[in-house]
Amino acid sequence: VNQILLLLLVLTVCAILYNKVHQVPSALKNETVDLESPEEMEEEIPVVICAAAGRMGAAIAAISSIYSNTEANVLFYIVGLKTSIPHIRRWIENSKLKEIKYKVVEFNPMVLKGKIRQDASRPELLQPLNFVRFYLPLLIQKHEKVIYLDDDIIVQGDIQELYDTKLAPGHAAAFSDDCDLPSTHEMVRSVGMQNTYMGFLDYRKQAIRDLGISPSTCSFNPGVIVANMTEWKHQRITKQLEKWMQRNVEENLYSSTLGGGVATSPMLIVFHGKYSTINPMWHIRHLGWSPDTRYSEHFLQEAKLLHWNGRYKPWDYPSVHTDLWENWFIPDPSGKFKLTRPDS
């Protein structure tokens, strides 16, 4: 009898232990539900913006405009040189932008050694951060799709719309064509801007003529890019861009005396006929080409993104439509960056 009772006791203990081991704790069940909630599964939108010394207020205004006009889960990649990174961190952490999700990425200018031809006519175009867009996969590694924006922009629409831009199969990037806006044509004629390959490449050089690209082909603006990182790496876009940078050093195939400087031209070559297009209202540009030529206020209010590409920036004087830019500017807590205005 004792042996039977002992056996029953052992079996009972074993049954209890089995149930405990195989039972799913309620806390783990709750975690599973949380992981599948819409908030946790929301897609992250990576946005790359450079913060250059001397024009950090531009990056701050751009970030402020994006953050204020979307409910999307935006992750800002703020790229700078080693010396400027502490400044941009303090600016963000001591302003309302402390709520944003961001990573500060240091760009090493040594990757450009031997790849940039010195040009004294517009030295600002040779600044290392102008070439960050060439190296997106090296800086941003965990995302399939990335938005790159120049710092002299303001976003008035929901950045989710731009991120949703469809890229055709085999295309590594989407840009805005320079012939896509009727309003742009009038500005081009009035201030002498170039919107074709002739304005960027030196067609007197055999290497350029050998490309077989008509000089009247519409150019595109790489200040706003929606990029597919898988295609970019597969097509070795960065290596292709570096090849044309090195050829320019040796043969002077393009220069900053032409329309687009030294950062646009290699992209025009590498992406010719192999890019998708961005909705024209998501890149209203040329606001910085002349201090006199203006768009209509109604047109600018409807625009999703404004770009002050050109010499006349909205934080300097003279410039146009500065009120639209200042709406999003956040003063520098350290006082180092100041706006240049007629009465300043």
Are 201 and 265 a contacting pair, CB within 8 Å?
yes
Sort residue 159 into left (φ over 0), alpha (ψ -120 to 50) or beta: alpha
Give pLDDT, residue 199.
86
Which helix (H) or strand (E) is 90 found in, with range?
helix 85-93
How far, in Å, CA of 203 to CA of 141, rounded?
A: 37
Q: What is the pLDDT of residues 234-267, one digit of tens each?
A: 999 999 999 999 999 999 998 655 555 688 999 9
Peptide bond into 169 cis (omega under 30): no
Q: What angle do CA 99, 154, 175 make, to 5 degrees?
A: 115
Which helix (H) or strand (E) is 175 found in, with range?
strand 173-177
Range with the lowest mean pLDDT among 93-102, 112-121, 274-283, 308-317? 112-121
Residue 179's pLDDT band, with cuts at 50, 70 and 90, is confident
Residue spans of the domains in the chain: they are 45-179+221-233+274-327
pLDDT at residue 184 greater than cutoff 90: no
Each as own residue / partner, the long-range contacts of residues 291-298 (CB below 8 Å, 24 or more positions apart, any chain) are: 291/318, 291/319, 291/320, 292/320, 293/187, 293/190, 293/191, 293/320, 294/320, 294/321, 295/183, 295/187, 295/321, 296/183
Q: What is the pLDDT of residues 321-336, one digit of tens each?
A: 999 999 999 999 999 9
Give pLDDT, residue 27.
30
| Count of CB atoms situated within 10 Å of the CB of 29 | 10
Are 159 and 45 a contacting pair, CB within 8 Å?
yes
pLDDT at residue 18 greater than cutoff 50: yes
Give pLDDT, residue 39.
44
CATH class of the structural domain 45-179+221-233+274-327: alpha beta
Q: What is the DSSP letter of 73?
A: E
Range with the lowest mean pLDDT among 27-41, 173-187, 314-328? 27-41
Range with the lowest mean pLDDT among 96-105, 129-138, 261-270? 261-270
Identify how many contiguous H helices and E strands the chain contains and give both numbers. 14, 9
